[in-house]
Amino acid sequence: MKKLTRIKRVRLHHEGTPTLLYGFVALFALNVAAYFLFRGLALWPFYVLLGISLVVYAIIVNFFRCPIRIFQGETTENVVVAPADGRVVVAEEVDEEEYFHERRFMISIFMSPLNVHANWFPCDGFVRKVEHHNGNFHKAWLPKASVENERSAVIIDTPSGHSVLVRQIAGAMARRIVTYARENEECYIDEHLGFIKFGSRVDVYLPLGSEVCVEVGQKTIGNRTVIAKMKQVDPLVTSGE
């Protein structure tokens, strides 16, 4: 499958534009009001508020940063990259009963509020299904979050015949999941799958027999860290001949 990648010089994710704009206006108005309120008295409360405002706004800007990343491997064939920055909290075999109804190897990456929250496609392929499920907002690192929290599911069929499930999962703070994946469209490593606001988790369900390249506790870099390599599928076996 030929891979076409367009590089855009984007430093802040467009999902953050409303938050950054309205946040700046609100903090600016608050500080202007505080200045006029305290200027006839003591200005130190104004300077304290100004300092807090700058720190808060810097944290928000940091959250919406969107680094430009291109996968550095020689090939993307059967390669699975981390769909998000964060830390691996689960790497084990599980029963996936929602779509595949079979044993799968699940790798879960938890994103703290300090991580980049853009999500990347973990592999090249064809988007077969995209579904959004309303749900709870348990802490994202809890096992039940995978099936009980609000989430979006994306199933990708790879060129070699594998199927990969990616779940974007809302956490205790995250209240909005944005998914760019569209059914019946091709997808590639280096492209954004979506965005989750303010702390969350991404699960990847891989076929058994995949070579897992990460372990629990390991930090990941989205679109850079190789988390697994899937086996080459025999076309004769795939076709049933």
Find the angle CA(83)-CA(17)-CA(166) to the nearest 5 degrees: 20
Catalytic residues: 200
Give the orientation angle of helix 17-38 with respect to helix 44-63, to 10 degrees. Answer: 180
156-185: b (≥16 Cβ within 10 Å) or e: bbbebebbbbbbbbbbbebeebbbebeeee
How far apart CA 155 and CA 131 sit, in angstroms, is: 9
Reduced to 3 states (helix: H, G, I; strand: E, B; else coil), residue 14 is: helix
